[in-house]
């Protein structure tokens, strides 16, 4: 996609996301009495955004390609439990635990990808199946192997430094990973043919295949990416917090989808950008965590999230229409 060739910022997919971000902050400042210095100084929402963002990036790419992956909700606890069981309970080297955690991600991603390419079943349904199955496998596995549903883990110093460190006492190192991954994805998606393939698939899979794009390979790769990212987030959480528990991750499903959509990605595929996903995640994190800094009663937070999502969707829609009318020949999606 030649997103960067377009000079006009307003027509870029992330324009809506950036405006949403500004609108949300303005709303909190005006109605919630937020002290901006306090808000920007706090690590909590950046940490929240980083954990969510690493999952949202590949999910967003999947959505650009016209697929969906909700099994991430089970992959996050799967990642943290597998490293905790292997390296914590059985006391094997931490590298083995990491390999198992990430390997499990590859495996589940492959299953999702193969099923999505070999059958005509929508990926929402396929990954719903793997979601429930993985939840069960993680729970049963942990209870059968360790007799417990939460397992402690003590990682060696070098692993903590790379994956589970608190910078400045409160910023999780995963923020650095998030930024690095975002940069990497920007490079791949917007500057290599691979990115064009993803967009083309979301626009029209048949013609993409006819144009010689290895659609199956791309789809499977994307599913593997999203499952591995999810188990990576789980793994980092286990290393940082020295423990893992079975439940958890379900809220990542909706949170990640909402972040991606706020970031301007079309659920029906073919439209979006990595920076949009990045800003969408930031926006969602501020909405979600920023409410702690306001005078607004915490009880209303879900309502605000819902309304914000709907507004963001409306706004992105207008921007997209603007973008499409401005260059009708280039965007068949």
Instruction: Give the pair of three-digit tokens for residue 97.
Output: 């635990």
Q: Does 254 bind another protein (CB under 8 A)?
A: yes
In the set 237, 264, 276, 280, which binds another protein (CB under 8 A)? 237
Among positions 258-317, residues that touch another protein (CB under 8 A) are 258, 261, 267-269, 288-289, 292-293, 297-307, 309-310, 313-314, 317
In the set 17, 25, 46, 227, which binds another protein (CB under 8 A)? 46
Q: Does 214 bind another protein (CB under 8 A)?
A: no
In the set 15, 173, 246, 285, which binds another protein (CB under 8 A)? 246
Distances 298 to 27, 92, 231, 311 between C-alpha atoms, Å: 15, 43, 30, 20
What are the residue ranges of helices labelled H in the chain? Answer: 15-32, 36-41, 44-64, 72-83, 94-118, 123-146, 157-163, 174-191, 193-203, 205-210, 215-241, 250-262, 274-290, 301-326
Let me know: does 31 contact 296? Beta carbons within 8 Å. yes
Number of residues that bind another protein (CB under 8 A): 95
Q: How many CA atoms are closer than 13 Å to the CA of 118, on its beta-carbon side?
A: 7
Residue placing its CB nearer to another protein in the complex, 7 or 118: 118
The Cα 278–Cα 260 span in angstroms is: 8
In the set 122, 156, 192, 194, which binds another protein (CB under 8 A)? 122
In the set 33, 93, 96, 119, which binds another protein (CB under 8 A)? 119
Q: Does 211 bind another protein (CB under 8 A)?
A: no
Apex 315 CA angle, 185 and 330, nearest 5: 55
Candidates 2-10, 22-30, 95-103, 199-207: pick the segment binding another protein (CB under 8 A).
199-207
Q: Does 175 bind another protein (CB under 8 A)?
A: yes
């Amino acid at each position: 996609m030649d997103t960067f060739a377009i000079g006009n910022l307003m027509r870029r997919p992330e324009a809506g996301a950036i405006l949403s971000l500004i609108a949300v902050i303005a709303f909190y400042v005006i109605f919630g009495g937020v002290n901006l210095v306090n808000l920007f100084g706090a690590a909590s929402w950046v940490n929240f955004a980083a954990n969510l963002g690493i999952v949202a990036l590949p999910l967003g790419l999947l959505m650009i390609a016209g697929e969906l992956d909700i099994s991430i909700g089970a992959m996050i606890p799967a990642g943290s439990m597998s490293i905790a069981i292997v390296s914590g309970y059985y006391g094997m080297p931490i590298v083995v635990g990491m390999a198992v955690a990430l390997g499990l991600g590859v495996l589940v991603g492959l299953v999702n990808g193969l099923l999505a390419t070999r059958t005509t079943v929508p990926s929402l349904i396929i990954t719903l199946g793997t979601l429930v199955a993985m939840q069960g496998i993680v729970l049963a596995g942990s209870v059968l192997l360790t007799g417990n549903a939460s397992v402690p883990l003590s990682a060696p110093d070098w692993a903590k430094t790379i994956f589970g460190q608190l910078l400045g006492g409160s910023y999780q190192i995963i923020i650095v990973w998030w930024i690095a991954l975002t940069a990497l994805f920007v490079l791949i998606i917007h500057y290599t043919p691979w990115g064009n393939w993803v967009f083309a698939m979301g626009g029209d899979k048949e013609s993409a295949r006819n144009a010689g794009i290895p659609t199956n390979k791309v789809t499977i790769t994307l599913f593997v990416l999203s499952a591995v990212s999810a188990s990576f987030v789980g793994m980092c959480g286990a290393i940082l917090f020295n423990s893992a528990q079975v439940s958890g991750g379900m809220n990542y499903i909706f949170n990640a989808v909402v972040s991606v959509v706020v970031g301007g990605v079309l659920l029906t595929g073919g439209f979006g950008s990595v920076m949009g996903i990045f800003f969408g995640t930031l926006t969602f994190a501020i909405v979600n965590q920023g409410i702690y800094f306001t005078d607004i009663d915490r009880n209303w937070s879900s309502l605000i999230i819902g309304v914000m999502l709907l507004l963001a969707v409306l706004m992105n829609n207008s921007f997209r229409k603007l973008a499409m009318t401005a260059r009708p020949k280039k965007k068949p999606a």
